[in-house]
Structure 1
């Protein structure tokens, strides 16, 4: 039996990228999917573009918020309409590799796994410039220094997402940490998280985005990591890594930018070498 995949996507003022994103989904090698989009109060032509696609493609469904409610509530509303056994995340400015769904469903079917992410090519208007690749095996200690997943690469069992109540919608998660809170909840229930060791999406990000995060966000991020350590009962001796955002705050932006870019470029070169060996 070919399992159905429900792709959930929040839409907000993404008229410049949405059509290309939807085309990358339509071009997937795996056909048993549905896309549930929720326009979260866009003020541009995003809703019209989504409506045009959904009116001609029966696998696409469109919801709308009259005002902006944030990503957590938007994804939960999509989840309520989902009928697939698997729930897949995707963002309205990213692109899927042609066999993304096929590869992630195969991995979920062949491995003991409750949620599965992947790597991501990083690109901007100039093309692909880097790669981000989380390690394959993730555990609760991953939460100390970094998130275990790149959020828009994840596929999850719907039963697992329902078991933790979907995305939390509160003051903390509304500060762009809805995904981090979800990973905490999955680890609290001792679900198994893995990452496919290859990039399956094109993640839209320019070279300066990492350094544009404000000091307030870094403090919120540190608070979230310390909270994760507490909830997941991480030994105090290991919690020092949760203060990484504080270190990032005091580093000169030039050094931070160079490190972030170099790491992404090295990952991309290593991926290219692996492809050449095959």
Structure 2
């Protein structure tokens, strides 16, 4: 049974003992006290579980679960979802922080507007500073309420971040996809599309940035990203978004796939054989998914309409349903870009 007005904050934890005191303190300082902080220790090997148990013993709103290490954030969220008691769902990482008024302002906006999702402010937080310059900016004021469809567009375009307060019924209806390391980013767009109303609020989410982040390391898992991009393209293509927008999402996905292939080429010599196989498997999956959708025809049409030379390049790279063909052309392109001192395609 869901508790009216309660916010279930879910915090996956893995070797996060360095940050837990400050992140949990920011939750306990909230001026809105109707919450549960549900922490899931994902097989930590440091003192994380010990720290969590100590907080759990001191405050009945803190609940700690454990699971063996493995899987993505989405797997942790699906693991804990049946155990949550709140009417609202909110996610934070072990090193993020909340402004003191965050929960209260989000819940108030949900009640005021009847919104299924509420987007607060967000600021990047580093070890020694905060930075608003790189945070997503909204083109509307925070008093506006928009449709779920419009929110999907703004989210894919980077104008809406993913640290959103959701109605629990919506999250439980869909659950979290687990097909990739960053599949939760896909799930956020599915949730938004299902919303009747999306509102914006005050309060601030402090999103911690550090070099240890899995999305910053060169690991096989980050090469899941191009396939998630493909899935987002497939989502808008199948949900009646206008053709120009679908085309722009496709182009973004294609360019990102090409850039990740180039990233692999440039770093291949430093990788072990197992890592190489895992990365190639992920890139092949994304490439094959695009080719099966006959995207070359789309690019031919765009070239006839615009004359832009990037479309023939796309057509060459995706002309054959064989990843080795794509890999060969990307090797050549990587060398050309290096000669011209160009880091990535844009």
TM-score normalised by L of structure 1: 0.76
**Contact 2:90/2:165 (8 A) holds in 1:** yes
Pairing 1:130–2:135 present? no
> What does 1:77-96 correspond to in 2, within 5 Å?
77-96=79-98
**Residues 255/5 of structure 1: CA separation in 2 closer, same or farther (3 Å cut):** farther
> What does 1:225-264 correspond to in 2, within 5 Å?
225-233=229-237, 234=241, 235=243, 236-238=246-248, 239-246=250-257
1:259 is aligned to: none
Secondary structure (helix, strand or coil) at the match of 1:229 reads helix
Pairing 1:141–2:153 present? yes
Structure with the larger strand share: 1
Q: 1:167 aligns with which of 156, 176, 200?
A: 176
Unaligned runs of 5+ in 1: 257-278
Partner Cα distance (1:54, 1:209) in 2:
26
Per-residue CA deviations over 1:170-218 (Å, capped at 9, x if unaligned) read 3x2xx2x13212123225535544443x561211114897994549667
Per-residue CA deviations over 1:138-165 (Å, capped at 9, x if unaligned) read 4333455448423xx221000100111x
Partner Cα distance (1:245, 1:163) in 2:
31
Q: 1:72 aligns with which of 46, 71, 74?
A: 74
Structure 1 position 60, deviation (Å): 0.6
Unaligned runs of 5+ in 2: 141-145, 263-336
Partner Cα distance (1:21, 1:128) in 2:
15
**Contact 1:87/1:155 (8 A) holds in 2:** yes
Alignment root-mean-square deviation, CA: 3.3
> What does 1:102-121 correspond to in 2, within 5 Å?
102-121=104-123
**Contact 1:143/1:229 (8 A) holds in 2:** no
**Contact 2:56/2:63 (8 A) holds in 1:** yes
> What does 1:1-278 correspond to in 2, within 5 Å?
3-131=5-133, 132-135=135-138, 137=146, 138-142=150-154, 144-146=156-158, 148-150=160-162, 153-164=163-174, 166-170=175-179, 172=180, 175=181, 177-187=182-192, 189=194, 191-196=196-201, 200-206=204-210, 212=216, 214=218, 220-233=224-237, 234=241, 235=243, 236-238=246-248, 239-246=250-257
**Residues 167/55 of structure 1: CA separation in 2 closer, same or farther (3 Å cut):** same
Secondary structure (helix, strand or coil) at the match of 1:34 reads strand
TM-score normalised by L of structure 2: 0.62
**Contact 1:222/1:244 (8 A) holds in 2:** no
Structure 1 position 9, deviation (Å): 1.1
**Contact 1:100/1:200 (8 A) holds in 2:** yes
**Residues 46/255 of structure 1: CA separation in 2 closer, same or farther (3 Å cut):** farther
Partner Cα distance (1:211, 1:40) in 2:
18
Structure with the larger helix share: 2
Which range moved further: 130-139 or 40-49?
A: 130-139
Secondary structure (helix, strand or coil) at the match of 1:4 reads strand
Partner Cα distance (2:208, 2:342) in 1:
22
Which is higher, the Rg of structure 1 or of structure 2?
2
Partner Cα distance (2:39, 2:215) in 1:
30
